[in-house]
Amino acid sequence: MSIRYPNGKKYSKSETFSQKKGVNKDERFSNRGMTLEEDINETNEYYRSHNIALIHKKPTPLQIVNVHYPKRSAAVVTEAYFKKPSTTDYNGVYNGKYIDFEAKETKNKTSFPLKNFHDHQIEHMYQVLNQGGITFAILRFSYNDEIYILFANDLIPYYKNQDTKRKSIPKKDIEAKGYLVPIGFHPRIDYLKIVDKIISTM
């Protein structure tokens, strides 16, 4: 099956998800986004299996273009495009609270580029806040594997001001306003410990 991104570029599983040995440093960094996703998915499975929370990754919607019918009772999708997601990456329920967040990473050492976010994601976070939900971004600095949670109340003003001010969030600001998430084993990224701190102040 041929799957394409919204810009028409073909999706290649080998380019995006390969974790084979022997790849060079640049190739490893190009795959680090998937590593963050895998870490979060593993963490969410731990939460689910231990009845801590129920949080899932939202599936990326596909626009089907061509369908082949080898049999009357079967249909095979031969070409499709990734559609632009309308919300954030993850959502679910924890202790009766609605949880919604986006996961991003950068190779930058001193700041986090705001271009990694999109208007629809920020607008969705704003709407979640208005409904009393808990929403945030999990940010990974891949050069040293540091992971922070930056809650939407602190993230949104930076995004709204990027046209007139800087195009990124300084790392020192993320360190000051965000929360460093220790990397563990089970769970891998225990972000709900940080969420607990926010819930305790609500």
Query: First vs last Cα of the chain: how many Å apart?
Result: 48
Is the predicted pLDDT of residue 19 greater than 50, yes or no? no
Q: What is the CATH classification number for the domain harbouring 87?
A: 3.40.1350.10
In percent, how much of the chain has pLDDT > 70?
72
State yes or no: pLDDT of 12 exceeds 60: no
Q: Where are the alpha helices (DSSP H) in the chain?
A: 13-17, 25-30, 32-49, 119-130, 152-160, 171-177, 192-199
Predicted TM-score (pTM) of this structure: 0.73
pLDDT single digits (tens) 116-154: 998 989 999 999 999 999 999 999 999 888 999 999 999
Which range marks the domain in which residue 176 is found?
Answer: 2-199
Phi–psi pair at 57, nearest 5 degrees? -80, 135
**Total number of domains constituting the chain:** 1
